């Protein structure tokens, strides 16, 4: 996934290259780590793709010098939740971690963006998905 720009990922997604539910296809789609069933990944890819597509329109996202990957997280106190990360293509460094709906009980399902702008010390934005979209200016 690190050799595939966000632009290329979106082109592949739109061409249906990540629609097959088999694990190999979903790993190619960008799944790095997950606690959910393997069968759930394709549905999660579809759900998160619309969010990636929307945020990819932001001036904060470099379609040709960043890549995306996905994680399904298992908090100690809460339920499984997904995030996606935009990373620098050359260094592999995470630039943004975007959580559409946190599974941590203490966060009550809030959406969040973490980023290197503040060295990931606290969320850059926390609230609703609309707040996330506003942060990215889309």
Note the pLDDT tens digit of each residue in 28-48: 999 999 999 999 999 999 999
Q: Over 90: is that where the pLDDT of 54 sits? A: yes
Which 8-state DSSP code applies to residue 38? G
Domain that holds residue 101: 6-136
Instruction: Specify the pLDDT at position 24.
Output: 95
Which 8-state DSSP code applies to residue 39? G
Domain-located, residue 1: no
Answer for the pair 83, 36: CB distance below 8 angstroms, yes or no: no
The pLDDT-based confidence of 108 (bands split at 50, 70, 90) is confident
Domain-located, residue 53: yes
Domain-located, residue 39: yes
Instruction: Specify the pLDDT at position 118.
Output: 96
pTM, two decimals, is 0.93
Domain-located, residue 33: yes
Instruction: Specify the pLDDT at position 3.
Output: 78
In sequence order, the 6+-apart residues with CB closer than 8 A to the CB of 53 are 10, 13
- How many structural domains are present in the chain? 1
């Amino acid at each position: 996934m690190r050799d595939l720009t966000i632009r290329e990922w979106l082109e592949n997604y739109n061409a249906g290259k990540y629609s097959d539910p088999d694990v190999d296809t979903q790993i190619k789609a960008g799944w790095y780590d997950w606690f959910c069933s393997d069968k759930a990944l394709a549905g999660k890819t579809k759900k998160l793709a619309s969010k990636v597509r929307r945020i990819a329109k932001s001036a904060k996202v470099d379609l040709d010098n960043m890549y995306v990957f996905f994680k399904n997280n298992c908090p100690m106190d809460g339920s499984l939740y997904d995030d996606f990360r935009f990373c620098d293509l050359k260094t592999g460094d995470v630039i943004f971690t975007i959580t559409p709906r946190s599974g941590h009980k203490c966060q009550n399902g809030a959406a969040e963006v973490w980023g290197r702008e503040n060295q990931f010390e606290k969320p850059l934005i926390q609230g609703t998905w609309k707040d996330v979209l506003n942060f990215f200016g889309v």
